[in-house]
């Protein structure tokens, strides 16, 4: 347990960061705590987008261009489901559907989401330990001027076009960290926060009662990679969401969100001017190239991040 490198991760950014990390650390020493606030049921099937992105990316079957789903995917079941009168805004590929059918079936048999995820890791040939943040149902809801949307409605259906008035984590009060999560954090060798959305990916994980406290208590050093560069994101609506929520949409805003437990902040070299300001929050700051455009940059970023807390 003491040798574990723990990574808190959302979807695409987290998975790409992990692609680099598994090149410089043994998979069996890596524990990923994944966000499940984006989970949703489609046609009665339990879909866990962030967990699947990690699975598919590390198993090497992901559609690398879009960052999610399978490469060489078809949509024959989906087309037929649409003909049968179903909404088709969340496109589930044929290979992808196998994961959701499998997960739903195992859950139906009484297994917990973390047990199911462990099985899926094995079935995808992975040695990392991927643990959902909780086995309870937590759903990220986005309050917009017109309605309260599920995360996927906001993100996929409405393509992040709505103004965000508030972000809520439905079910969070009753949620407990999944088994091993707190223990793993307290006994970790190092804890890394992937360059994922600080509100709806890392933020959701941090909102699970007990997790933030474990990060404050752990003796392991904690480092975070900013997903925001020059006030913008490589992928996703993090900067706009942060602005809506009254946060500074920058690496500084990210650092402030984590300042109660963070030791090291990794920011992009383009944000060099923020270094001194962030250091004043009481943390070390490292500037480097954080744009993971190829394998080499992914590995370099993982190495810089890991080295910063070892």
d(CA 164, CA 292): 28
60 contributes a contact to a second copy by CB under 8 A:
no
83 contributes a contact to a second copy by CB under 8 A:
yes
Residue 96 beta carbon to a second copy: minimum distance, rounded to whole angstroms: 8
Residue 51 beta carbon to a second copy: minimum distance, rounded to whole angstroms: 14
Residue 108 or residue 272: which is nearer to a second copy going by CB? 108
Q: What are phi and psi of 176, to 5 degrees?
A: -120, 150
> 29: buried, middle or exposed (CB in 10 Å: 19+, 13-18, 0-12)?
middle
Residue of 1, 64, 98, 165 that binds a second copy (CB under 8 A): 98
110 contributes a contact to a second copy by CB under 8 A:
no
Radius of gyration in angstroms for the set of CA atoms belonging to the chain, rounded to a whole number: 18
158 contributes a contact to a second copy by CB under 8 A:
no
d(CA 297, CA 125): 25
Binding letters toward a second copy, positions 19-58, x by CB under 8 A: ------------------------xxx-------------
Q: How far are the Cα atoms of 113, 184, 226, 268, 275 from residue 272, in angstroms, in the given order?
A: 41, 33, 13, 7, 5
Q: Are 259 and 284 contacting, i.e. CB atoms less than 8 angstroms apart?
A: no
Helix (H, G, I), strand (E, B) or coil at 72: coil
95 contributes a contact to a second copy by CB under 8 A:
yes
Residue 76 beta carbon to a second copy: minimum distance, rounded to whole angstroms: 4
Residue 59 beta carbon to a second copy: minimum distance, rounded to whole angstroms: 10
76 contributes a contact to a second copy by CB under 8 A:
yes
Residue 106 or residue 190: which is nearer to a second copy going by CB? 106
d(CA 259, CA 265): 9
Q: Mutual orientation of helices 113-123 and 94-108 as an angle, nearest 10°?
A: 140
Residue 105 or residue 230: which is nearer to a second copy going by CB? 105
284 contributes a contact to a second copy by CB under 8 A:
no
Name the residue among 132, 159, 161, 156 with its Cα closest to residue 145.
161
Q: Identify which range of 102-110, 181-189, 243-251, 280-288 contacts a second copy by CB under 8 A.
A: 102-110
Q: Identify which range of 101-109, 154-162, 205-213, 249-257 contacts a second copy by CB under 8 A.
A: 101-109
Q: Are 208 and 138 contacting, i.e. CB atoms less than 8 angstroms apart?
A: yes
Residue of 24, 27, 71, 81 that binds a second copy (CB under 8 A): 81
> What does the binding site for a second copy look like in residue numbers (CB under 8 A)?
43-45, 74, 76-81, 83-86, 94-95, 97-99, 101-102, 104-105, 108-109, 120, 123
């Amino acid at each position: 347990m003491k040798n574990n490198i723990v990574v808190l991760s959302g979807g695409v950014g987290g998975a790409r960061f992990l692609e680099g990390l598994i090149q410089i650390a043994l998979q069996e020493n890596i524990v990923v705590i994944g966000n499940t606030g984006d989970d949703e049921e489609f046609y009665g099937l339990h879909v866990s987008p962030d967990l699947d992105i990690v699975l598919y990316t590390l198993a090497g079957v992901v559609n690398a261009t879009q960052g999610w789903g399978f490469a060489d995917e078809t949509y024959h079941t989906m087309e037929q489901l649409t003909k049968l009168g179903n909404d088709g805004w969340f496109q589930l590929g044929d290979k992808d559907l196998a994961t959701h059918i499998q997960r739903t079936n195992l859950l139906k048999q009484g297994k917990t989401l973390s047990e199911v995820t462990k099985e899926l890791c094995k079935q995808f040939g992975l040695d990392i330990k991927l643990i959902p943040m909780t086995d309870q149902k937590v759903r990220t809801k986005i309050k917009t001027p017109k309605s309260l949307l599920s995360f996927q409605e906001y993100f996929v259906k409405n393509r992040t076009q709505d103004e965000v008035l508030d972000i809520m984590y439905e079910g969070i009060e009753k949620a407990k960290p999944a088994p091993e999560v707190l223990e793993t954090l307290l006994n970790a060798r190092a804890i890394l926060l992937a360059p994922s959305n600080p509100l709806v990916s890392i933020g959701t994980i941090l909102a699970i009662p007990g997790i933030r406290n474990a990060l404050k208590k752990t003796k392991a050093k904690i480092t975070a990679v900013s997903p925001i560069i020059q006030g913008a994101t490589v992928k996703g609506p993090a900067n706009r969401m942060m602005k809506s929520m009254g946060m500074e949409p920058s690496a500084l805003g990210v650092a402030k969100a984590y300042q109660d437990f963070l030791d090291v902040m990794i920011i992009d070299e383009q944000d060099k001017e923020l270094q001194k300001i962030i250091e004043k929050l009481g943390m070390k700051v490292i500037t480097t190239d954080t744009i993971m455009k190829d394998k080499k940059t992914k590995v370099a970023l993982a190495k810089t991040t890991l080295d910063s807390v070892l």
